[in-house]
Amino acid sequence: MQVPSHVEYERATSVEHALSLLSRPETRVLAGGHSLIPMMKLRLAQPEVLVDINGLAELAFIALDGDRLRIGALARHADLLSSSVAGQCFPIFHDAERVVADPIVRLWGTIGGSLCQADPSEDLSAAFAAVRATAVIRGKDGERTVPVRDFHLGPYETVIGSGELLAEIRVPVRPGTGSAYEKVARRVGDWSVAAAGAVLCLSGDPARPVIESAGIGLTAVGAEHFVAAEAEDFLRGRAADEDSFAAAGAIAAGHCHPSADQRGPEDFKRHLVGELTTRALRRAAARASSEGNR
Ligand SMILES: Cc1cc2nc3c(=O)[nH]c(=O)nc-3n(C[C@H](O)[C@H](O)[C@H](O)COP(=O)(O)OP(=O)(O)OC[C@H]3O[C@@H](n4cnc5c(N)ncnc54)[C@H](O)[C@@H]3O)c2cc1C
């Protein structure tokens, strides 16, 4: 680790204040700092001004608002993990948060920071893509919304422009929906070798449910926008059974683009995608069918 280069530090007192500070050139938002500070130490990021948003309580919330779950960008991983309303509506978030890093990172790292970092191995990017969340971005000229599936432009790159801030993430809540996240890491607290998240909305005879819609997110395997779109298309209208889940897993494995690295060779990761997608779909279906969820 090296020492970051000289940087000015500003602490925002409101969202409006943060936006006015961000209008200066070469500024970066500082949230939990778990990704940004190490990158600054390695000189992979060299902002001239840091705008600390940790005092903005107005961005630190998780709430059910009608038929959508709203998550403030400054909510911490630990907040999402302990939120009963989030866990009830979307067990996928609790599954994913249980395996994000360790308690120290989860206590300080934020949901907004995770999405904005745009690390291809970030677990929540795939989870939010699976549930078809929407990002709410604030700028000096007001607010705009972007589907999370369009939010990431590539590794470490998002649609957030200079002078803008991710304010919240909104997730549509639908009855009859179940979700799950499955991850393989080399050791507890490590980044994914591969992971898959699934959301299923079921309808029809509870004894022979049919898949009305499916969302599948993939982590760390080069899936475009973190999504297994071909597997989702395949599942729509099919029976929610083992044959469909296994076939969707095979399709997801065939369409992703994992790279060989210290976490494993390409074929191993592809195998994991097939198996983890199948398992996530199976568990999502069981949760969708569980009593009180239809
Ligand atoms: C040891 C370790 C292990 C980890 N393991 C995992 C893991 O297994 N799985 C996983 O998913 N993650 C893991 N992480 C990452 C963790 O999830 C971090 O919390 C996350 O990457 C960044 O969140 P942060 O709040 O710390 O963001 P910061 O580091 O503060 O910011 C990250 C980037 O996002 C920008 N940013 C932050 N908030 C906003 C906002 N509201 N609007 C606009 N831009 C913003 C910053 O400017 C910066 O560019 C790990 C991190 C560490 C340190």
Residues 6+ away with beta carbon under 8 Å from 233: none
Confidence of residue 3 (pLDDT cuts 50, 70, 90): confident
Range 63-67 contact pairs with CB under 8 angstroms and sequence separation of 24 or more: 64/89, 64/173, 67/172, 67/173, 67/174
Cβ atoms of 76 and 32 within 8 Å: the answer is: yes
- The tokens describing 42, both together, are 């390695």
Confidence of residue 248 (pLDDT cuts 50, 70, 90): very high
Report whether residue 101 contacts ligand 1, using a CB cutoff of 6 Å: yes
Over pLDDT 90: what percentage of the chain? Answer: 95
Report whether residue 51 contacts ligand 1, using a CB cutoff of 6 Å: no
> What is the pLDDT at residue 239?
97
Number of the ligand 1 atom closest to the C-alpha atom of 190: 8
Residue whose CA is at the smallest distance from ligand 1 atom 14: 101
**198, pLDDT greater than 80:** yes
How many angstroms separate the CA atoms of 68 and 57, rounded? 20
**142, pLDDT greater than 80:** yes
**Interval 196-207 mean pLDDT:** 95
E strand or H helix that includes residue 135: strand 134-139
Confidence of residue 292 (pLDDT cuts 50, 70, 90): low
Query: Distance, CA 117 to ligand 1 centroid (Å)?
Result: 6
Overall CATH class of domain 177-292: alpha beta
- The tokens describing 153, both together, are 């432009």
CB atoms within 10 A of CB 25: 10
- The tokens describing 101, both together, are 């890093």
Report whether residue 178 contacts ligand 1, using a CB cutoff of 6 Å: no
How many angstroms separate the CA atoms of 72 and 1, rounded? 31
**What size, in residues, is the chain?**
294
Report whether residue 105 contacts ligand 1, using a CB cutoff of 6 Å: yes
Report whether residue 128 contacts ligand 1, using a CB cutoff of 6 Å: no
Residue whose CA is at the smallest distance from ligand 1 atom 38: 113
**293, pLDDT greater than 90:** no
**SS3 assignment, position 10:** strand
Residue whose CA is at the smallest distance from ligand 1 atom 17: 114
Report whether residue 35 contacts ligand 1, using a CB cutoff of 6 Å: yes
Query: What are the start and end residues of each CATH 3.30.43.10 domain in the chain?
Result: 8-52
* Tokens 């949901």, residue located: 111
Third-level CATH fold of 57-172: 3.30.465
For residue 253, CA distances in Å to 102, 199, 217, 235, 250 come to 28, 17, 12, 15, 5
Query: Distance, CA 110 to ligand 1 centroid (Å)?
Result: 6
- Is the pTM here over 0.85, yes or no? yes
> What is the pLDDT at residue 197?
98
> What is the pLDDT at residue 113?
98
The pick from 28, 35, 42 for probing ligand 1's pocket by mutation, whose C-beta has the most ligand atoms within 8 angstroms, reads 35
Tell me the per-residue pLDDT of 16-74, one tens digit each, with 9 for 90 and over: 999 999 999 999 999 999 999 999 999 999 999 999 999 999 999 999 999 999 999 99
Residues 6+ away with beta carbon under 8 Å from 238: 210, 211, 244
E strand or H helix that includes residue 276: helix 266-289
Query: Distance, CA 271 to ligand 1 centroid (Å)?
Result: 28
Report whether residue 30 contacts ligand 1, using a CB cutoff of 6 Å: yes
Number of the ligand 1 atom closest to the C-alpha atom of 45: 49
Confidence of residue 291 (pLDDT cuts 50, 70, 90): low
> What is the pLDDT at residue 290?
83
- The tokens describing 116, both together, are 């904005």
**SS3 assignment, position 151:** coil
Query: What are the start and end residues of each CATH 3.30.465.10 domain in the chain?
Result: 57-172
Query: What are the start and end residues of each CATH 3.30.390.50 domain in the chain?
Result: 177-292
> What is the pLDDT at residue 274?
98
Report whether residue 40 contacts ligand 1, using a CB cutoff of 6 Å: no
**227 DSSP assignment:** B
Confidence of residue 1 (pLDDT cuts 50, 70, 90): low
Cβ atoms of 212 and 201 within 8 Å: the answer is: yes
Of 203-212, 214-223, 271-280, minimum mean pLDDT range: 203-212
Confidence of residue 177 (pLDDT cuts 50, 70, 90): very high
How many angstroms separate the CA atoms of 79 and 87, rounded? 11
Tell me the per-residue pLDDT of 230-242, one tens digit each, with 9 for 90 and over: 999 999 999 999 9
Residue whose CA is at the smallest distance from ligand 1 atom 9: 100
E strand or H helix that includes residue 285: helix 266-289
Residue whose CA is at the smallest distance from ligand 1 atom 53: 34
Over pLDDT 70: what percentage of the chain? Answer: 98
Cβ atoms of 93 and 78 within 8 Å: the answer is: no
> What is the pLDDT at residue 294?
52
Report whether residue 100 contacts ligand 1, using a CB cutoff of 6 Å: yes
Given 3.30.43.10, 3.40.50.300, 3.40.50.1970, 3.40.640.10, which CATH number is that of 8-52?
3.30.43.10
Residue whose CA is at the smallest distance from ligand 1 atom 4: 101
- The tokens describing 187, both together, are 């050791």
Report whether residue 274 contacts ligand 1, using a CB cutoff of 6 Å: no
